[in-house]
Amino acid sequence: MRGRVLVTATALLGAAAAGLPAPALADGPTSTGWGSSGSVDVLVDNQHVVTGDLARCDADGPTTARTTGGDTGDVAVFGLGATTCARDGAVATVAAGGQRFEADVLKRFGGPAITVRTYSAGCSTTKNGSSGTVSIGEVGGFTVPSSIPANYRVLIPGGEAGTALAAITINETVTPQPADGSLVTHAVHIQLFPQGGPASGNIYLGTAACNPFGKGGAPQPPA
């Protein structure tokens, strides 16, 4: 089912919000961030398909990146994508997005093609933490409400014994435990056979990661 979905969601997470003191840095905080228009890391029929982070930018450079897209066999196809990372004083900002994504990997198991016409993710650091935003356009192969909360999860049925072919999380926010003010925001996260099955792995669309308190500390997506 296809539908026009426009959503902008914001998450504000930080040390202060978690009841923790901000890290004490003698020379003041040095924020950082990185972004990617998408990535694939899946195992299907004993074939490992990995793209790495497409069009990856970093506040320490390169600060901009673009990808013309392309296909990964019959797993997924990415359209144009771009990212921008910047630092202005103590504030780091990240913007990442892409268009015309399609994943056909579930079709071999009797599932639908998953399509996302446009998507973007962004984040910026604040005095005590980081904030993230997400936007997606028309989707196909699954449905979402007009207003999407953080970490909204959709299961694609069709696996053996009632299991899911995939779990799709929209507006996903990943934070470390204990919270340190950093976060990673994904516009879309597709996990293959989350309950086990003939395929495994993850596909991410639009990733933005920010850390207000130190270089290299922005969390990575889960392995």
- Asked if residues 213 and 25 have their Cβ atoms less than 8 Å apart, the reply is yes
CB of 204 within 8 A of CB of 33?
no
Distance between CA 84 and CA 93 in Å, rounded?
8
* Among candidate residues 25, 18, 8, the one with its CA nearest the CA of residue 212: 25
Bridge partners, residue 170, by sequence: 152, 188
5-33 pLDDT, tens digit each: 444 444 444 444 444 444 444 455 689 99
pLDDT tens per residue, range 177-210: 888 899 999 999 999 999 999 999 999 999 999 9
Which phi and psi angles does 216 have, rounded to 5°? 75, 5
Q: How many residues appear in the chain?
A: 223
Q: How confident is the model at residue 176 (pLDDT cuts 50, 70, 90)?
A: confident
How far is 113 from 102, CA to CA, in rounded Å? 7
95, 90, 74: which is closest to 199 by C-alpha? Answer: 74
Instruction: Give residue 151's identity as a one-letter amino acid code.
Output: N
Angstrom distance (rounded) from CA 5 to CA 85: 26
User: What tens digit of pLDDT does each residue of 32-71 get?
Assistant: 999 999 999 999 988 999 999 999 999 999 999 999 999 8
Helix (H, G, I), strand (E, B) or coil at 14: strand
User: What's the DSSP call for residue 89?
Assistant: T
Res. 4 pLDDT band, cuts 50 70 90: very low
